[in-house]
């Protein structure tokens, strides 16, 4: 990474800042697939490999046939049982030639291991991107003098039933549930984000997302399942750990799960961990997963939004056009407002970590912030699905279909045909 300080683009500086901070937050257990961090496509654990249980024997055989000069010792099977053993995690030992996990997988596949049978353990981050993209929401949170959320809170319906929604995110700010300035969050609960006067990077992300859900669907019981609380993880989580959090989310019997996070993967193959979670867990429940499409302005698949069983949500500006930063294509089933949301945010001081605002100090003292990204388009759609369930009594999947049926097909130059959900702010 020598010479990175010479990068002449705010976007590239921003990505480099993000990856360096992210690696530091995770004690160096972060690698990426390019020499220059600003060009990364995906990020992963430098020593872990994920394999479906059904492919574990084939993986072991392929490793046994690999040149011993590459792997002096066979990979160790992690003793953590993931998804009741349906997902196996291996730890690679030292590689004599310095081969990366993707290098080893390339060699195994060249020797006959089916492509996609094994995968790096990718890092999933709050609405990340790749290919010179972003590891975070489209911007860092901004102060606002506004006292009401935007989009505004929808009125509660007398005949609506309560609907459970779980937000799997960075954690929850308990003070927001009792603050008279954010009454739409009263009754929300979750894993304490453990904020202090100096807010950590990505603090408030889960709280803000929960606020968007509650504004769209007042008749919801919202729980924020935290995957990066107390300053751990830098706003990210490994795939193998995320599926554990998603499994815990299902214990709340949610009708809707919102995940404003995702990742690119090696060779853009479907995430083994998330596919296994769906196959062995999610599809057994009447639960819809809604996920952010990502903020890298690319049509490359972004997981889990790109799965056909997930509702991937891209971002619109207030004029109804697709946001400049929004991913599109297979990762965005529908687009909703993602630009300049205003919602609940912890009070405290935040120091910007990313170019061009690096070092700027922002003081949040109104219990609110302004924020943009597909991270916030997703919970708007999640809330609309939950509201449809509450008002119609339908199944989660039927409610999803009803909400998407209200979207209009439009054309956006540079993006193409898109399905745009203009309500409820039109």
* Mean pLDDT on 408-414: 78
Give the pLDDT band (50/70/90) at residue 278.
very high
Class of domain 163-420: alpha beta
86-90, 319-323, 324-328, 422-426: least confident range = 422-426
Give the pLDDT band (50/70/90) at residue 7.
low
Q: pLDDT value at position 134?
A: 55
The answer, yes or no, to whether residue 192 has pLDDT greater than 90, is: yes
96-105, 295-304, 347-356: least confident range = 347-356
DSSP codes joined into one string, 329-380: GGG-SEEEE-SSEEEE---EEEE--STTSTT-EEEE-SSEEEE-SHHHHHHH
Which position has the higher pLDDT, 103 or 131?
103
* Mean pLDDT on 273-296: 97
Q: pLDDT value at position 232?
A: 53
The model's pLDDT over 112-159, given as tens digits with 9 standing for 90+, comes to 999 999 999 999 988 544 344 555 566 789 999 999 999 999 988 777
50-54, 95-99, 412-416: least confident range = 412-416
With H, G, I as helix, E, B as strand and everything else as coil, classify residue 57: helix
The answer, yes or no, to whether residue 258 has pLDDT greater than 60, is: yes
Instruction: Calculate the average pLDDT of the chain.
Output: 89
Q: pLDDT value at position 148?
A: 96
Q: pLDDT value at position 426?
A: 45
Q: pLDDT value at position 237?
A: 92
Q: pLDDT value at position 131?
A: 40
Q: What percent of the chain lies above the pLDDT cut of 70?
A: 91
CA dihedral of 153, 155, 160, 163, whole degrees rounded to 10: 10
Q: Are 67 and 43 in contact (CB under 8 A)?
A: no
Q: pLDDT value at position 142?
A: 93
DSSP state for residue 402 in the 8-state scheme:
H
The residues spanned by each domain of the chain are 4-123, 163-420
Q: What is the pTM of this model?
A: 0.93
The answer, yes or no, to whether residue 176 has pLDDT greater than 90, is: yes
Residue reference for tokens 């961090």 = 37
Q: pLDDT value at position 128?
A: 44
Q: pLDDT value at position 333?
A: 95
| Residue closest to 204 by CA, chosen among 322, 350, 314 | 350
Q: pLDDT value at position 64?
A: 93
* Mean pLDDT on 43-66: 96
Our measurement of the distance from residue 87's CA atom to the centroid of its chain's CA atoms, rounded to an integer in Å, reads 20
The answer, yes or no, to whether residue 40 has pLDDT greater than 60, is: yes
Residue 67 burial (CB count, 10 A): 10
The answer, yes or no, to whether residue 354 has pLDDT greater than 80, is: no
Contacts of 236 (CB under 8 A, 6+ apart): 22, 26, 123, 124, 125, 126, 128, 135, 228, 261
Residue reference for tokens 């609940």 = 344
Q: Are 367 and 181 in contact (CB under 8 A)?
A: yes
SS3 content of the chain, % helix, strand, coil (to 5): 30, 25, 45
CA 336 – CA 318 distance, rounded (Å): 9
The answer, yes or no, to whether residue 198 has pLDDT greater than 60, is: yes
Q: pLDDT value at position 2?
A: 47
The answer, yes or no, to whether residue 359 has pLDDT greater than 90, is: no
């Amino acid at each position: 990474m020598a010479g990175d300080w010479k990068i002449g683009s705010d976007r590239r500086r921003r990505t480099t800042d993000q990856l360096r901070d992210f690696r530091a937050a995770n004690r160096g257990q972060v690698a990426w697939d390019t020499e220059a961090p600003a060009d990364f496509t995906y990020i992963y654990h430098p020593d872990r490999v994920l394999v479906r249980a059904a492919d574990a024997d084939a993986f072991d055989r392929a490793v046994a046939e690999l040149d011993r000069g590459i792997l002096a010792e066979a990979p160790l099977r992690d003793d953590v049982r993931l998804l009741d053993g349906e997902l196996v995690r291996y730890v690679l030992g030292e590689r004599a030639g310095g081969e990366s996990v993707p290098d080893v997988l390339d060699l195994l596949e060249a020797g006959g291991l089916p492509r996609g049978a094994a995968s790096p353990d990718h890092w999933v981050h709050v609405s990340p991107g790749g290919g010179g993209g972003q590891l975070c929401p489209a911007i860092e949170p901004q102060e606002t003098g506004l006292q009401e959320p935007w989009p505004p809170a929808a009125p509660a319906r007398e005949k609506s039933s309560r609907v459970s929604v779980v937000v799997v995110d960075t954690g929850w700010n308990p003070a927001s549930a009792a603050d008279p300035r954010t009454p739409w969050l009263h009754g929300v609960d979750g894993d304490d984000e453990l904020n202090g006067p100096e807010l950590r990077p990505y603090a408030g992300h889960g709280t803000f997302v929960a606020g968007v859900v509650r504004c769209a669907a007042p008749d919801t019981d919202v729980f924020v399942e935290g995957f990066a609380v107390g300053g751990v993880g830098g706003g990210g989580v490994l795939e193998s750990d995320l599926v554990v959090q998603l499994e815990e989310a299902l214990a709340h019997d949610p009708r809707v799960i919102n995940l404003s996070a995702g990742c690119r993967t090696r060779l853009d193959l479907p995430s083994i961990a998330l596919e296994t979670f769906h196959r062995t867990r999610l599809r057994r429940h009447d639960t819809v997963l809604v996920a952010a499409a990502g903020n890298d302005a690319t049509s490359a698949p972004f997981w889990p939004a790109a799965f056909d069983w997930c509702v991937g949500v891209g971002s619109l500006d207030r004029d109804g056009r697709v946001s400049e930063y929004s991913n599109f294509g297979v990762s965005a089933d529908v687009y909703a407002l993602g630009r300049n949301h205003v919602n609940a945010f912890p009070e405290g001081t935040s120091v910007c970590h990313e170019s061009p605002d690096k070092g700027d100090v922002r003081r949040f003292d109104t219990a609110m912030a302004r924020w943009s990204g597909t991270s916030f388009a997703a919970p708007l759609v999640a809330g609309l699905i939950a509201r449809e369930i509450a008002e119609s009594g339908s199944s989660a999947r039927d409610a999803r279909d009803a909400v998407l049926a209200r979207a209009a097909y439009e054309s956006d130059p540079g993006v193409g045909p898109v399905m745009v959900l203009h309500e409820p702010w039109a």
